Chains A and B, each alone.
Chain A
Amino acid sequence: MNIPESLAFRTDVRQHERAFCHDRLRDMLRIRRLEERCAQLYGEQKIRGFLHLYIGEEAVAAGVMPNLAPQDNVVATYREHGHALLRGLRMEAIMAEMYGKQEGCSRGHGGSMHLFDRATRFYGGNAIVGGGLALAVGLALADVHLGREGAVTACFFGEGAVAEGAFHEALNLASLWRLPVLFLCENNLYAMGTALARSEANIELTALAASHGVEAAQVNGMNVLAVHEAAREAVRRVRQTRTPRFLELHTYRFRAHSMFDAELYRDKSEVERWKQHGPIHGFTDRLKAAGMLAEEEFQALDRAALDEVEAAVRFAEAGRWEPVERLLDDVVARP
């Protein structure tokens, strides 16, 4: 798999405010440090089940999320720690969820793949590939039906979901009914271990979206500023026109699909090549070169992220197991 020329970091960081750039760097570092610790905790068997890391893809969530407003809905996948965090879930609640503790954001019922939060309209955490797409259409339909003007539903999914019928059904419905959904396709090139070209006859994903009448664009998903700019424009258009938009975000997963993946389907050299385009160090280098970030400032941001992670670990460790007597609660509402 060759690295597209378009992934070069072309944005001139000097066109952005220093504080804004630091915020985006902070966002990415928070995700990175959280997940590195999660991988470690998985090795210590503190976190079990499936654990899908977003490492390498942070620029996507970090670029999109600041463009969303409190009334907007977010639907994500099973690789959603970063989305949840930047949507505003407390890192403690995320970590406690991964521990399976009742202080977790889903009371320990969901784990890594099922992070939910009512307060921030974060609708999961969906472990069915493509499972969130129709949900997003419905959330937008409810906004329209109930007259919630201006609300946008942001729906993240991987390129693997494009092979699902649900993808086409959802895009058609959103387009046909003119619903305010922003479809965000995180194209990290592999659906587990199956490369896009081995699963799709047409790998022009924007063309597939356009065939449903949905305006679509490709974005360098390794460049947080490019993602932010594209998402800002797309969100603005969805909000204004009440019609869907589609963004394909080119990105790459640096870690294995899950903790059980031996990565037989790609060369280490490919991963190393992509790491040269890493979303954090590429951005950091340019900020430093432009005189917009001192090494001490970077260290301070990184230290803050690491401290937050350790506080989250302490919170999760101190959390309690849900009493088994509550096992059957929350299957249906209590009368």
Chain B
Amino acid sequence: MSRTLSYREALREAHREALQRDPRVFLMGEDVGRYGGSYAVSKGLLAEFGEQRVRDTPLSELGFVGAGVGAALGGARPIVEVMTVNFSLLALDAIVNSAALMRHMSGGQFGVPLVIRMATGAGRQLAAQHSHSLENWYAHVPGLRVLAPATVEDARGMLWSALQDPDPVVIFEHAQLYNLEGELPEPWTQDIAHAALRREGRDLSIVTHGGCLPKALEAARQLEGEGISAEVLDLRVLRPLDDVAIAATVAKTRRLLVVDEGWRSGSLAAELMARVVESALFYELDAPPARVCSEEVPIPYAKHLEEAALPQPAKIVAAARRLLGR
């Protein structure tokens, strides 16, 4: 049994399920209520659950994310929506200095079972202050779990599992994915610990996440036409990384291409490559690992410039060819 729905609808269903199943759960964020969510994820939920469960906040990211940390400490199960990752920088103190450190700093006494969701990524001509991919900043921090649902199934299934985590979870929703339509199998996966193989292949492994997954799959289709068989691994979980799945695909294809919308320097891609080359897998490689990242420029407004700044199927195809010496 399966049915077709959009990533946005899948997220909305996941919220409805969470609000129905657990009275401790509430959603708060800028315009999540009357406006229906800046990406319309929570549309209709205010009418269904009321103002105590779907709480519009002022434009004070530090204040309401910090309040989410406190509410989680106090036994509630808040879902905090931040409009975009760029705005989350105003709340970094609450996320890093409070949420992520609390359990360890308190000698294990206080956990912060908080879920923070935010849009990330470019591709909608929203220019420099709404378009960045800073997942790696959060994936750097011990104490956080970082998720990047890239499919309708994960949009549906990850939220409930995240709410069961006794520690803070940050969920990145790529802005390009909200309109994505896909099949939702029944039952759907609720796994928030492992990467998922989205396509099997023999010649190289494309490892990616979030908004780059559809681009990687498109590139793999094009490569197929050229006789190159690309495996595509969707990380899904950016912290802690699924080292086993990464090692398995690299051991199989012996070639690694990482596709990451973050800037190249200090990127998640860099971390993945380092993990492979510092391990015994290094000797298994048939070529140096490669990566396709965003160009090191603030994301521009003009469409052609924005496209040029981001990983694209053509860039992935070209990098794959180079990796194979073609």
Q: Name 10 A/B residue pairs within 8 A (Cβ), A-sorted.
A: A73-B74, A128-B97, A134-B65, A137-B67, A141-B74, A145-B52, A166-B62, A170-B67, A173-B60, A333-B167
Contact A138/B70 with A173-B58, A332-B143 known, Cβ cut-off 8 Å: yes
Please tell me if B195 contacts chain A, counting CB pairs below 8 Å.
no
When chains A and B are docked, how far (Å) is the Cα of A182 from the Cα of B70? 15
Residues of A within 8 A of B62 (CB): 134, 165-166, 169
Cβ contacts B1-33/A at 8 Å (1 or 0 each): 000000000000000000000001010000000
Which one, B55, B106, B142, contacts A106 given CB within 8 A?
Answer: B106
Closest to B61 in A: A169
A99 to B142, CA, bound (A): 25
Indicate whether A137 sits within 8 Å of B73 (C-beta atoms), given known contacts A109-B105, A114-B106, A331-B104: no
Interface residues of A in 106-162 (CB under 8 A from B): 106-110, 114, 116-118, 123-126, 128, 131, 133-143, 145-146
Q: Say yes or no: A166 contacts B63, CB within 8 Å.
A: yes
A116 to B103, CA, bound (A): 10
Give the contact-size bracket for chain B. Answer: 35 or more
Partner of A145, one of B24, B60, B106, B110: B24
**A173: which B residues are within 8 A, CB to CB?**
57-58, 60, 63-64, 67
CB of A329 within 8 Å of the partner chain: yes
Residue A325, interface by CB 8 Å: no
- Whether B74 lies near A146 (C-beta < 8 A) is yes
Within the complex, the shortest CB–CB distance from B146 to chain A, in Å, comes to 12
B55 nearest CB neighbor, chain A only: A177
Q: Are B63 and A172 in contact (CB under 8 A)?
A: yes
> Footprint of A on B, CB under 8 Å?
24, 26, 52, 55, 57-58, 60, 62-76, 78, 93-94, 97-98, 103-111, 142-143, 145, 166-167
Q: Nearest chain B CB to A170's CB is how many angstroms away? A: 6
Closest B residue to A133 using CB positions = B66
**Which chain A residues lie closer than 8 Å to B110 at the CB level?**
116, 118, 123
Query: A278: which B residues are within 8 A, CB to CB?
Result: none
Q: How large is the interface on A (under 10, 10 to 19, 20 to 34, 35 or more residues)?
A: 35 or more
Q: Which 5 A-B pairs have the closest CB atoms?
A: A138-B70, A134-B66, A142-B74, A169-B63, A107-B107
A63 at the interface (CB under 8 A from B): no
Q: A172-B63, A173-B64 are in contact. Are A330 and B69 (CB under 8 A)?
A: no
Contact assessment for B74 and A139 in the assembled complex, using a CB-CB cutoff below 8 Å: yes
State whether A110 touches B58 (Cβ < 8 A): no
In the assembled complex, which residues on chain B have CB atoms less than 8 Å from the CB atom of A244?
none
- In the complex the two chains form, what is the Cα distance from A303 to B67 in whole Å? 43
A92 to chain B minimum Cβ distance, whole angstroms, is: 15
Contact B73 A146 (CB under 8 A): no
Tell which of A134, A329, A332 touches B63, judged by Cβ atoms closer than 8 Å: A134
| A104 contacts B63, C-beta separation under 8 Å | no
Kindly state whether residue A300 has any CB partner on chain B within 8 Å: no
Question: Contact at B76–A142, with CB atoms within 8 Å?
Answer: yes
* A203, CB-defined interface residue at 8 Å: no
Question: Which residues of chain A are near B64, meaning CB under 8 Å?
Answer: 134, 169, 173
Q: With A107-B107, A107-B108, A123-B110 as given contacts, are A135 and B66 in contact (CB-CB < 8 Å)?
A: yes
